[in-house]
């Protein structure tokens, strides 16, 4: 006699933030101050023209290390007002200080954010018990759904599988931005929890869909959003041939946007298209002429035109 047990693959797929999210750059004016009008224009473009279901603000691509708490809050308010009726707005609030992270989480909730992105504390390299305590404290302090951000090549510490499984027990920890590049670890977590996994690496979106991920938090999607969403939808519909063709077509830009730090090339590309971007803040440096020429070539290889 056999007993049927439901397996992870049979669970209803949860996409708390949709399929396609872009980690939006923070537009600045020529003198390096916050460009709120530009942020509204860019957010509208990313939702209406690039097909984003949600935008992540104040992440690494949004230059969060060099924007103030006040700037972060003002950015959330104007973007929620601009696109919050048709897209989710997820606020990056993670720092390497639990108390400061909670302050940012509370401010983001008051500013109207629909969710929070919380990165692994960086530089101080806490043990797994510290990660558990940090993420739980943030989740306890807010009513918003939380996406954990697992990116050990920036933070120095991975979120271990067992830690992830324990964090999944918290009702407000619902998703993961997965930039660990460890498909086996991801497979174990998606098989043992209901966490909605989003690829944190543009080029790994298609392979991660095969092991239970539900979408992408992208960088190149400032330009490839519409096609990337088609790729995800094709895979979901069982049309793996179309999904693979789109993956291969977009690969030059999925990877090319990271030839230097991603924000630098996204801002250069947006400026070339006449969209709000402005300069980057130090210690980042603006793209060189050679880097912009290479970006044009990468766009062309992906079938996209950059003026």
Return the active site residues: 149, 177
Q: Which helix (H) or strand (E) holds 38?
A: helix 36-48
Residue 124: how many CB atoms within 10 A of its CB? 11
In whole angstroms, what is the distance from residue 75 CA to residue 91 CA? 10
Virtual CA dihedral for 267, 304, 244, 22, nearest 10 degrees? 30
Peptide bond into 205 cis (omega under 30): no
From 267, 243, 251, 262, select the one nearest 304 (Cα to Cα): 251
In sequence order, what are the beta bridge partners of 119? Answer: 149
Q: How far apart are CA 298 and CA 307, in angstroms?
A: 13
| Residue 171 CB coordination number (10 Å) | 8
Burial environment of residue 268 by CB neighbours within 10 A (0 to 12, 13 to 18, 19 or more): buried
Number of Cβ within 10 Å of residue 234's Cβ equals 19
DSSP state of 34: B
Nearest C-alpha neighbor of 101 from the set 69, 56, 75: 69
Residues 6+ apart with CB under 8 A from 66: 281, 282, 284
Q: How far apart are CA 158 and CA 172, in angstroms?
A: 21
């Amino acid at each position: 006699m056999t007993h049927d047990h439901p397996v992870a693959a049979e669970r209803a797929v949860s996409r708390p933030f949709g399929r396609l999210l872009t980690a939006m750059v923070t537009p600045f004016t020529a003198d390096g101050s916050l460009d709120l009008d530009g942020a509204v224009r860019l957010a509208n473009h990313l939702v209406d023209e690039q097909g984003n279901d949600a935008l992540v603000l104040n992440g690494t691509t949004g230059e969060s290390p060099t924007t103030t708490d006040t700037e972060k809050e003002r950015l959330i308010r104007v973007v929620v007002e601009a696109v919050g009726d048709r897209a989710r707005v997820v606020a990056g609030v993670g720092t390497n200080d639990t108390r400061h992270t909670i302050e940012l989480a509370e401010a983001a909730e008051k500013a109207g954010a629909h969710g929070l992105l919380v990165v692994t504390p960086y530089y101080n390299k806490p043990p797994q018990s510290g990660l558990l305590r940090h993420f739980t404290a943030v989740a306890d302090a807010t009513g918003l759904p939380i996406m954990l951000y697992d990116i050990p090549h920036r933070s120095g510490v991975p979120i271990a599988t067992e830690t992830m499984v324990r964090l999944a027990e918290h009702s407000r920890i619902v998703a993961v931005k997965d930039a660990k590049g460890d498909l086996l670890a991801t497979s174990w977590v998606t098989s043992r929890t209901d966490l909605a996994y989003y690829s944190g690496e543009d080029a790994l979106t298609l392979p991660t869909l095969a092991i239970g991920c539900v979408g992408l938090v992208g960088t190149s999607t400032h330009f490839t959003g519409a096609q990337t969403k088609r790729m995800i939808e094709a895979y979901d519909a069982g049309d793996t041939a179309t999904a693979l063709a789109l993956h291969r077509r977009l690969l030059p830009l999925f990877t090319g946007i990271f030839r230097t730090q991603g924000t630098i090339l996204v801002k250069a590309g947006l400026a070339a298209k006449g969209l709000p971007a402005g300069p980057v803040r130090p210690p980042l440096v603006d793209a060189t002429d050679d880097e912009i020429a290479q970006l044009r070539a990468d766009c062309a290889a992906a079938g996209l035109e950059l003026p």
